[in-house]
Amino acid sequence: MNNKEFEDFFKNLEPDAEPKKAPSKDEDLVFSSFFEDATSSAKKEPEPEKTKNEVFEFEDDIFAPPPPDEEEQVFVKEPVKKAEEPAPIKKKAPKETRDSDNARKKKKKRLNTAYNWLLTIIWVSGVLAASVFIASFALSSINDLVGFSKESREIEIVIPEGYGLSEIANLLEEKGVIDEPFTFEVYARVKDMETRLAPGKYTLNSNLGYDQIFQVLKTKEKPKNVVKVNFYEGMTLREIAQRLEENGVCGYDEFIEAAKTETFEYEFEGQMGTDEKIYLKWEGYLFPDTYEFYTDSTPRSVIAKFIDNFNNKFSAEYYLRMQELGMSLEDVITLASVIQSEAAYMEDMKIVSSVFHNRLAPGSGLPYLQSDVTYFYYTENIEPYVGDEALSDEYLYAYYTYTDYRAGLPVGPICNPGLNAIEAALYPDETNYYYFVTDHDGNFYYAKTMAEHEANIIKAGRG
């Protein structure tokens, strides 16, 4: 290789090739000898003697670049890419914080595990308890149904008139004939016996099964005497009790006692008056109508017929109107009972109602109804039946609506009003009247002022 070829070789080297290391001192000697030999090879023969660094002879193509590899890439200068911003380095929380978090996670995991175990225990306990209860109830019901393993003894029972299936089942349990009234009811309905158990007096054995009990109660069925009784609008509770006794439905005294104490499950009962001076609890709610009763019925079953009819007749519209007027159910029935006692016809009832509404209005200056019928109710239905004079006076102040006695409405209804009186109480005529008086023929005279009223009293022959 001559000098020119040597220079060309270095020129053809790639510019980005990795730089060579600087030659060592010994290597300088070799290359110096090499250049020296290359330039003077024609003149001198190499000395045979070897120096410290042996000089190598090179073939002409020893420094030729190697052939390119087939897979070698052609280097192209690519545009410089903008360096991406390094991702933010998350700082580790201090060791104390990491320990605290780990402790909390472990504690939460332990709590969740304990909670799940507790729920599982509760659920399993509930299932076991329910299973034991159901099994016990089923066994007891089966024994009761067939009369198995029950003590044998004779028991007398009396099923009153008007008792339903539930009441009969409870009575049989109370007397010791059966143990499971609920099972008895269900079985009676399955056997279509709920309406075929007749009232009456029976002797039963405590070891009878349900089917045997049905046979005993069913064989005692007998024709019942039915009576139809009419009750007119405005009758008092005592008058109703008298008519019931006269028709053989139930006794007068028993009915009055039941009217003071009996309760039912009608929603409207929660809106009835609760003042302790209300003499008869169900006065005003025994809806006047024509009814059919069995003779020798219980007072409770009779009252139930009256108030069931009342519950059906007092419509949802009446309740809405009652709320518009700001009146309670007790207010409406009490006012209707006074209107019913004062007037017989609808046209008079609505005007009489307007007089009472005008007096009851705030700022009227006439807060007393001044209705004579409230006094008559006291003298005929309360005073004769109250032995204590002081107590009798308390009732007088509770019912009598004249000046110096009871302001506003009486403490409770004074009769049992019909639909006309109830509607008159809810929908009065619009008038400016504050007074009225009737003559002996039942004609009404209305007045706006006291002077007009005094003139009407004379005209009606009441002066």
Per-residue model confidence (pLDDT) at position 56: 44
Query: What CA–CA distance (Å, rounded) separates 3 from 323?
Result: 126
Q: What is the mean pLDDT of residues 149-168?
A: 84
Instruction: Output the average pLDDT for the chain.
Output: 80
Q: One-letter amino acid identity for 91?
A: K
Most confident of 60-64, 355-359, 458-462: 355-359
pLDDT at site 76: 44
Q: Residue 216's pLDDT band (boundaries 50, 70, 90)?
A: confident
For residue 444, what are the β-bridge partners? 438
Whether the per-residue pLDDT at 376 is higher than 70: the answer is yes
pTM over 0.75? The answer is no
Q: What mean pLDDT do residues 225-243 have?
A: 96
For 151-298, where are the alpha helices, taking DSSP H only?
A: 165-175, 181-190, 210-219, 237-246, 252-261
The predicted model gives 28-54 an average pLDDT of 44
What separation in angstroms does the CA of 16 have from each of 6, 8, 19, 333?
A: 19, 17, 8, 115
Instruction: Answer for the pair 248, 227: CB distance below 8 angstroms, yes or no.
Output: yes
Calculate Rg over the CA atoms of the chain.
Answer: 57
- List alpha helices for 345-436, DSSP H: 346-360, 372-381, 389-399, 419-426
Cα 338 to Cα 353: distance, rounded to the nearest angstrom: 9
257 pLDDT above the threshold of 70: yes
Pick from 414, 404, 417, 337: nearest CA to 375: 414
Q: Of the candidates 339, 341, 373, which has an alpha carbon nearest to the alpha carbon of residue 356?
A: 339
Residue 203: what pLDDT? 85
Beta strand 226-230 with 200-205: parallel, antiparallel or unpaired?
unpaired
Tell me what the mean pLDDT of segment 130-140 comes to. 57
pLDDT for 139 beyond 90: no
In whole angstroms, give the CA distance from residue 198 to residue 209. Answer: 18
The tens digit of pLDDT for each residue in 19-29 reads: 444 444 444 44
pLDDT band at 234 (very low <50, low <70, confident <90, very high): very high
Task: Quote the pLDDT of residue 111.
Answer: 75
Task: Tell me the pLDDT band of 391, cut-offs 50, 70 and 90.
Answer: very high
